[in-house]
Structure 1
């Protein structure tokens, strides 16, 4: 069971591992924005035909949009990574003194009653949020990035991955609870 769970988690956190590299373009974007502000520049490049996402230019506003796009991508996919490693926000201060089986039961309850329904709601509404942006051709009205549906699609995708991770962890937790001599759930080193 642990090998299957670990393999599924490896697949689920791959986007989080990959998007960690986006910190480099984020740094470059911030530096270019600061440079542009100091130099009084507004546009870096302009062209005639509209290009997906970029529109007709790379401007200071494009770079500002890019910064929050990158931050959103890192935060959403990084959440799955943090969940797998049990580094997410939790109430360990209250549960750390409890027996292991009680902690596993609380974790299972939280995953099934709170996390999975929350992920399902975000995926459901995030999908329609994305479709609305796609159908309306939503983009920046102030010279920033276009095709906002692409960044909005990250929301249901990231929460779908988190929901799958919660489901897998719930199954692993049930397995641990049913086998008293077995090891803890993935990521539980207590």
Structure 2
């Protein structure tokens, strides 16, 4: 298990590093959008390439930060229902969800997106809009993003098995939304105590 946990740490480190760097593209997308809007309003000049660049930057962030988002447990989960269940049941749901849903989905997307990207690259597919950008880089992002997510899924499965075996601490309160929930619960309890005291 130690070797698998070492592999998991490597995957986490790589995906975390990439995710933290790629997340800055949101700022670039905002700057591009602002400059595009200003140029269009002030100089009455417009280009589809600027609009498509915004889409590609957002797509890059969405696809290449998904694995990092999962790693830090910020992905969408049904926490209201999940928190009502015993810890062991939650652990099994997490493991089976990764094995039966996440991994097959990721493998399927990678399997179909590779030829989709290669065909686009081979013909140097261009935008249908006048002055638009090449389309193959965006299709390549789908492949890269889902390969990263596949590896992160493997890492999460390794960690979940280690947690269930007792080889790794269960860090359920991990991630910003969990911290926010804990703080909200603390404030609610504090308000109740003050209400009872007055």
1:189 and 2:173 are equivalent in the alignment: yes
Count of aligned positions: 169
**Are the equivalent residues in 1 in contact too, given 2:117–2:139 (CA < 8 A)?**
yes
**Are the equivalent residues in 2 in contact too, given 1:13–1:77 (CA < 8 A)?**
no
> How far is the alpha carbon of 1:61 from its aligned partner?
0.8
| Residue in 2 that maps onto 1:46 | none
Where do 4+ consecutive residues of structure 1 move more than 4 Å?
1-4
Larger strand fraction of residues = 1
TM-score between both structures, scaled by the size of structure 2: 0.78
2:102 to 87, 111, 115: 115
| Residue in 1 that maps onto 2:25 | 22
Please give the alpha-carbon distance, in whole angstroms, between the structure 2 residues aligned to 1:165 and 1:70: 22
Give the SS at the match of 2:51: helix
Task: Extract unaligned runs of 5+ from structure 2.
Answer: 175-198
Cα distance, 1:92–1:62 mapped onto 2, change above 3 Å: same
Larger helix fraction of residues = 2
> How far is the alpha carbon of 1:7 from its aligned partner?
3.5
Please give the alpha-carbon distance, in whole angstroms, between the structure 2 residues aligned to 1:32 and 1:11: 33
TM-score between both structures, scaled by the size of structure 1: 0.81
Please give the alpha-carbon distance, in whole angstroms, between the structure 2 residues aligned to 1:134 and 1:3: 36
1:157 and 2:144 are equivalent in the alignment: yes
Mapping of 1:1-190 within 5 angstroms?
1=2, 5-38=8-41, 39-42=43-46, 60-141=47-128, 142-146=130-134, 148-179=135-166, 182-184=168-170, 188-189=172-173
